[in-house]
């Protein structure tokens, strides 16, 4: 409601840039501060930052969205509000397809995020792991900066598909050639794409959903898109330890086949799982692209907000 529609992609990129900046700076500052001012001082600073954010919110004037009879829902009936948000999405096949797509992708990303640490530590030191995570944060920072300047492609759904594919290829590369230089490159490419994907996705929802109901719709969207993450976190460890690692152990079933391609021993089972996840991500992207309401979301579903700001 604060940003003109044509700049939503850039604004979303700035949000990604800010998040990446905090991820890079906070750990470094925390290490210095906890030594100099102790944990009590760190907690005090934490409280001050919340207070600062609250003051900023109080100073900003948020416009009231225009409402219609269609958008009015009794606030006392929260279940009815949830049902309305779900109905709003299901009535628009493109948005429903986008929601299902992200639920599937988030599940696959969840598996990778849990296992990236043991994968790197199987082939490198803890210091290298820290560097990999820092490079990933740098990729997210650069991606947010590029998105904030560029604003993303005109057809944002193609941006989502394109950068999802680049992330999938980086995951496959990390599994095929698990080594320090590959980890560095994969981390940067993957997190660069994360900023672009999140920026494009957020701009799509902001432009296609009426401002008066965005709270209800976005709540349902977040819940359903992220519901697959806990499942991914739950099964990632057992899947790696009990299925994939034994397959590429020195006496594993795949030693004579896939083992000759990527290697045998500790960590190579997780690497194989990365390859599988990357391939599944490519397949999910292909299905998403073949689903016409999702592929043509930008053209088939009219924008719910005007080209100018609502202020």
Residue 16 belongs to domain spanning = 5-66+77-300
* Distance in Å from the first CA to the final CA of the chain: 7
Please classify residue 131 by burial: count the beta carbons closer than 10 Å to its beta carbon, then call 0-12 exposed, 13-18 middle and 19+ buried.
middle
Distance in angstroms (rounded) separating the CA atoms of residues 127 and 161: 33
Which residues lie below 8 Å from residue 63, measured CB to CB, with a gap of 6+? 1, 2, 310, 311
Domain assignment of residue 310, yes or no: no
Domain assignment of residue 24, yes or no: yes
CATH of the domain at 292: 1.20.1250.20
For residue 310, pLDDT over 50 is answered with no
For residue 311, pLDDT over 50 is answered with no
What mean pLDDT do residues 24-28 have? 77
Domain assignment of residue 261, yes or no: yes
Domain assignment of residue 275, yes or no: yes
Domain assignment of residue 305, yes or no: no
Domain assignment of residue 208, yes or no: yes
The pTM of this model reads: 0.84
Q: What is the pLDDT of residues 208-236, one digit of tens each?
A: 998 888 988 999 999 999 999 999 999 99
Q: What is the pLDDT of residues 224-267, one digit of tens each?
A: 999 999 999 999 999 999 999 999 999 999 999 999 999 999 99
**pLDDT recorded at residue 77:** 59
Nearest-CA neighbor of 166 among 143, 135, 149? 143
Domain assignment of residue 284, yes or no: yes
Domain assignment of residue 308, yes or no: no
For residue 37, pLDDT over 80 is answered with yes
- Looking at the structure of the chain, the number of domains it has is 1
């Amino acid at each position: 409601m604060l940003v003109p529609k044509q700049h939503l992609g850039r604004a979303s990129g700035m949000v990604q840039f800010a998040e990446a900046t905090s991820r890079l700076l906070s750990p470094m500052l925390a290490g210095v501060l906890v030594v100099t001012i102790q944990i009590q001082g760190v907690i005090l600073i934490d409280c001050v930052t919340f207070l600062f954010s609250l003051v900023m919110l109080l100073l900003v004037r948020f416009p009231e969205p225009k409402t219609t009879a269609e958008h009015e829902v009794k606030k006392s009936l929260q279940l009815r509000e949830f049902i309305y948000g779900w109905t709003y999405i299901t009535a628009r096949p493109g948005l429903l397809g986008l929601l299902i797509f992200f639920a599937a992708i988030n599940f696959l990303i969840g598996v990778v995020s849990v296992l990236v640490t043991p994968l790197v530590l199987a082939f490198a030191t803890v210091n290298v792991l820290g560097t990999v995570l820092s490079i990933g944060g740098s990729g997210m920072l650069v991606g947010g900066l590029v998105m904030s300047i560029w604003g993303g492609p005109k057809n944002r759904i193609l941006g989502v598909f394109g950068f999802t594919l680049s992330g999938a290829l980086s995951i496959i590369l990390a599994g095929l050639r698990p080594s320090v230089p590959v980890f560095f490159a994969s981390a940067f490419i993957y997190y660069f794409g994360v900023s672009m994907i999140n920026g494009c996705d957020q701009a799509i929802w902001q432009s296609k959903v009426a401002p008066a109901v965005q709270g209800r719709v976005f709540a349902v969207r977040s819940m359903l898109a992220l519901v697959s993450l806990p499942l991914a976190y739950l099964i990632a460890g057992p899947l790696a330890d009990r299925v994939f690692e034994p397959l590429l152990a020195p006496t594993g079933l795949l030693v004579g086949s896939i083992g000759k391609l990527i290697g045998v021993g500790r960590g190579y089972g997780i690497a194989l799982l990365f390859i599988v996840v990357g391939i599944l991500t490519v397949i999910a992207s292909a299905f998403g692209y073949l689903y016409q309401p999702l592929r043509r979301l930008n053209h088939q579903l009219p924008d719910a907000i005007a080209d100018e700001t609502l202020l």
